[in-house]
Amino acid sequence: MLQAMIVDDEELSVKLLRELLSESDDIDICHTFLNPWNAYEYVKENPIDVAFLDISMPEMNGMKLSGLLHELDASIHVVFITAYDDYAVQAFDMSALDYLMKPVTPQRMGKTLDKIRKRLRSDTGGPSLKLSSLATKEEGYSSKENLTGQEKRIVQLVAGGFSNKEIAIHLNIGAGTVKFHMKNVYQKLGVSNRVQVLQRAMELKILD
Protein backbone atom coordinates (compact mmCIF):
# COMPACT_ATOMS: atom_id res chain seq x y z
CA MET A 1 0.00 0.00 0.00
CA LEU A 2 1.23 3.46 -0.93
CA GLN A 3 1.56 6.58 1.17
CA ALA A 4 0.48 9.44 -1.08
CA MET A 5 0.07 13.16 -0.77
CA ILE A 6 -1.63 15.91 -2.75
CA VAL A 7 -0.29 19.46 -2.75
CA ASP A 8 -2.53 22.04 -4.40
CA ASP A 9 -3.57 25.52 -3.29
CA GLU A 10 -7.10 24.99 -4.65
CA GLU A 11 -9.36 23.19 -2.17
CA LEU A 12 -11.71 21.90 -4.86
CA SER A 13 -8.85 20.33 -6.80
CA VAL A 14 -7.57 18.65 -3.64
CA LYS A 15 -11.02 17.28 -2.89
CA LEU A 16 -11.54 15.89 -6.38
CA LEU A 17 -8.09 14.27 -6.52
CA ARG A 18 -8.51 12.74 -3.09
CA GLU A 19 -11.85 11.27 -4.12
CA LEU A 20 -10.23 9.70 -7.19
CA LEU A 21 -7.37 8.24 -5.18
CA SER A 22 -9.68 6.97 -2.44
CA GLU A 23 -11.18 4.56 -4.94
CA SER A 24 -7.81 2.89 -5.53
CA ASP A 25 -6.81 -0.18 -3.55
CA ASP A 26 -3.16 0.87 -3.97
CA ILE A 27 -3.41 4.01 -1.83
CA ASP A 28 -3.34 3.51 1.93
CA ILE A 29 -3.37 7.08 3.18
CA CYS A 30 -3.59 10.25 1.14
CA HIS A 31 -2.35 13.36 2.94
CA THR A 32 -3.40 16.73 1.54
CA PHE A 33 -1.77 20.16 1.78
CA LEU A 34 -2.83 23.56 0.51
CA ASN A 35 0.55 25.05 1.40
CA PRO A 36 3.65 23.48 -0.25
CA TRP A 37 5.91 24.46 2.65
CA ASN A 38 3.70 22.47 5.03
CA ALA A 39 4.00 19.49 2.70
CA TYR A 40 7.78 19.85 2.66
CA GLU A 41 7.97 19.95 6.45
CA TYR A 42 5.74 16.87 6.67
CA VAL A 43 7.98 14.83 4.38
CA LYS A 44 10.98 15.70 6.55
CA GLU A 45 9.49 13.47 9.25
CA ASN A 46 7.24 11.05 7.35
CA PRO A 47 7.73 8.67 4.41
CA ILE A 48 5.84 9.34 1.18
CA ASP A 49 5.76 7.08 -1.88
CA VAL A 50 4.07 9.33 -4.40
CA ALA A 51 3.39 13.07 -4.48
CA PHE A 52 0.73 14.69 -6.67
CA LEU A 53 1.90 18.28 -7.09
CA ASP A 54 0.10 21.21 -8.65
CA ILE A 55 2.60 23.18 -10.73
CA SER A 56 1.17 26.69 -10.29
CA MET A 57 1.09 27.62 -6.60
CA PRO A 58 1.78 31.09 -5.14
CA GLU A 59 3.89 30.02 -2.14
CA MET A 60 6.18 27.72 -4.12
CA ASN A 61 5.58 26.12 -7.52
CA GLY A 62 5.41 22.38 -7.95
CA MET A 63 8.70 22.21 -9.85
CA LYS A 64 10.58 23.73 -6.93
CA LEU A 65 8.77 21.54 -4.41
CA SER A 66 9.62 18.45 -6.44
CA GLY A 67 13.30 19.31 -6.26
CA LEU A 68 13.14 19.83 -2.49
CA LEU A 69 11.28 16.57 -1.96
CA HIS A 70 13.85 14.64 -3.97
CA GLU A 71 16.60 16.16 -1.85
CA LEU A 72 14.86 14.58 1.14
CA ASP A 73 14.05 11.29 -0.57
CA ALA A 74 15.04 10.57 -4.17
CA SER A 75 12.66 7.59 -4.32
CA ILE A 76 9.49 9.71 -4.13
CA HIS A 77 7.50 9.41 -7.34
CA VAL A 78 6.20 12.79 -8.53
CA VAL A 79 3.09 13.35 -10.62
CA PHE A 80 2.57 16.94 -11.78
CA ILE A 81 -0.95 18.29 -12.16
CA THR A 82 -1.82 21.50 -13.99
CA ALA A 83 -4.47 23.25 -16.02
CA TYR A 84 -1.90 24.16 -18.67
CA ASP A 85 0.48 22.15 -20.86
CA ASP A 86 3.24 24.79 -20.94
CA TYR A 87 5.40 22.89 -18.46
CA ALA A 88 5.29 19.45 -20.07
CA VAL A 89 8.85 19.37 -21.39
CA GLN A 90 10.27 20.74 -18.14
CA ALA A 91 8.29 18.20 -16.13
CA PHE A 92 9.68 15.25 -18.06
CA ASP A 93 13.17 16.73 -17.85
CA MET A 94 12.74 16.46 -14.09
CA SER A 95 11.90 12.74 -14.46
CA ALA A 96 8.30 13.15 -13.41
CA LEU A 97 6.40 9.88 -13.36
CA ASP A 98 3.42 11.49 -15.07
CA TYR A 99 1.84 14.81 -16.02
CA LEU A 100 -1.92 15.20 -15.58
CA MET A 101 -4.13 17.88 -17.05
CA LYS A 102 -7.04 19.24 -15.02
CA PRO A 103 -9.75 18.16 -14.70
CA VAL A 104 -8.34 14.69 -14.02
CA THR A 105 -10.67 11.89 -15.05
CA PRO A 106 -10.92 8.47 -13.34
CA GLN A 107 -9.68 6.82 -16.54
CA ARG A 108 -6.60 9.05 -16.73
CA MET A 109 -5.85 8.58 -13.03
CA GLY A 110 -6.09 4.82 -13.58
CA LYS A 111 -3.32 5.03 -16.16
CA THR A 112 -1.17 7.00 -13.72
CA LEU A 113 -1.66 4.37 -11.03
CA ASP A 114 -0.66 1.71 -13.57
CA LYS A 115 2.58 3.63 -14.14
CA ILE A 116 3.20 3.78 -10.40
CA ARG A 117 2.72 0.02 -10.06
CA LYS A 118 5.05 -0.61 -12.98
CA ARG A 119 7.74 1.69 -11.60
CA LEU A 120 7.52 0.16 -8.12
CA ARG A 121 7.82 -3.36 -9.47
CA SER A 122 10.79 -2.32 -11.56
CA ASP A 123 12.45 -0.64 -8.56
CA THR A 124 12.07 -3.77 -6.45
CA GLY A 125 13.33 -6.09 -9.16
CA GLY A 126 9.99 -7.75 -9.69
CA PRO A 127 8.22 -8.33 -13.00
CA SER A 128 7.08 -5.12 -14.62
CA LEU A 129 3.42 -4.58 -15.21
CA LYS A 130 2.65 -4.54 -18.92
CA LEU A 131 -0.19 -2.59 -20.45
CA SER A 132 -2.98 -4.82 -21.56
CA SER A 133 -3.51 -5.41 -25.25
CA LEU A 134 -6.99 -3.95 -24.87
CA ALA A 135 -5.62 -0.69 -23.44
CA THR A 136 -3.05 -0.53 -26.22
CA LYS A 137 -5.73 -0.98 -28.84
CA GLU A 138 -7.96 1.65 -27.26
CA GLU A 139 -5.12 4.14 -27.08
CA GLY A 140 -4.63 3.78 -30.80
CA TYR A 141 -0.99 2.79 -31.29
CA SER A 142 1.13 -0.30 -31.80
CA SER A 143 4.65 0.96 -32.40
CA LYS A 144 6.65 4.03 -33.33
CA GLU A 145 6.98 2.62 -36.84
CA ASN A 146 3.46 3.94 -37.50
CA LEU A 147 4.98 7.42 -37.81
CA THR A 148 6.73 8.67 -40.93
CA GLY A 149 10.23 10.14 -40.69
CA GLN A 150 8.85 13.67 -40.92
CA GLU A 151 6.29 12.97 -38.22
CA LYS A 152 9.01 11.64 -35.90
CA ARG A 153 11.07 14.77 -36.52
CA ILE A 154 8.06 16.93 -35.66
CA VAL A 155 7.45 14.96 -32.44
CA GLN A 156 11.09 15.50 -31.46
CA LEU A 157 10.73 19.24 -32.09
CA VAL A 158 7.56 19.31 -29.99
CA ALA A 159 9.59 17.71 -27.20
CA GLY A 160 12.13 20.48 -27.67
CA GLY A 161 9.45 23.06 -26.88
CA PHE A 162 9.00 24.35 -30.44
CA SER A 163 5.65 25.86 -31.46
CA ASN A 164 4.00 24.89 -34.75
CA LYS A 165 5.29 28.12 -36.32
CA GLU A 166 8.83 27.43 -35.15
CA ILE A 167 8.62 23.84 -36.39
CA ALA A 168 7.56 25.11 -39.81
CA ILE A 169 10.56 27.44 -39.97
CA HIS A 170 12.95 24.75 -38.72
CA LEU A 171 11.79 22.19 -41.29
CA ASN A 172 11.25 24.75 -44.05
CA ILE A 173 7.63 23.77 -44.55
CA GLY A 174 4.34 25.63 -44.30
CA ALA A 175 2.45 26.09 -41.04
CA GLY A 176 -0.52 24.31 -42.60
CA THR A 177 1.70 21.32 -43.37
CA VAL A 178 2.80 21.16 -39.73
CA LYS A 179 -0.84 21.15 -38.63
CA PHE A 180 -1.55 18.35 -41.11
CA HIS A 181 1.35 16.27 -39.74
CA MET A 182 0.33 16.97 -36.13
CA LYS A 183 -3.19 15.80 -36.89
CA ASN A 184 -1.74 12.56 -38.25
CA VAL A 185 0.50 12.20 -35.19
CA TYR A 186 -2.48 12.63 -32.86
CA GLN A 187 -4.45 10.03 -34.78
CA LYS A 188 -1.63 7.48 -35.01
CA LEU A 189 -0.62 7.80 -31.37
CA GLY A 190 -4.19 7.93 -30.12
CA VAL A 191 -3.78 11.27 -28.33
CA SER A 192 -5.52 14.64 -28.33
CA ASN A 193 -2.94 17.20 -27.17
CA ARG A 194 0.80 17.96 -27.12
CA VAL A 195 1.26 16.74 -23.54
CA GLN A 196 -0.07 13.32 -24.49
CA VAL A 197 2.17 13.33 -27.57
CA LEU A 198 5.19 13.70 -25.27
CA GLN A 199 3.98 10.97 -22.93
CA ARG A 200 3.36 8.54 -25.79
CA ALA A 201 6.65 9.47 -27.46
CA MET A 202 8.51 8.58 -24.27
CA GLU A 203 6.69 5.26 -24.00
CA LEU A 204 7.57 4.40 -27.60
CA LYS A 205 11.15 5.74 -27.25
CA ILE A 206 10.63 8.11 -30.18
CA LEU A 207 12.75 10.70 -28.38
CA ASP A 208 15.76 8.39 -27.92
Would you say 25 and 19 are in contact if contact means Cβ atoms under 8 Å apart? no
Would you say 164 and 178 are in contact if contact means Cβ atoms under 8 Å apart? yes
How do residues 171-204 score in pLDDT, each as one tens digit?
988 888 888 888 888 888 887 777 778 888 888 8
What does the DSSP 8-state code read for residue 154?
Answer: H
What pTM does this model have?
0.60
Give the right CATH number for 149-204 from 3.30.390.50, 1.10.10.10, 3.90.420.10, 3.40.1110.10: 1.10.10.10
How do residues 54-94 score in pLDDT, each as one tens digit?
988 988 988 899 999 999 998 899 999 988 766 555 655 66
Domain boundaries, the chain: 2-123, 149-204
Angle between helices 175-189 and 149-159 (to 10 degrees): 90
In terms of Cα–Cα distance, which of 200, 8, 188 is closest to 115?
Answer: 200
In this structure, which topology does domain 2-123 adopt according to CATH?
Rossmann fold (3.40.50)
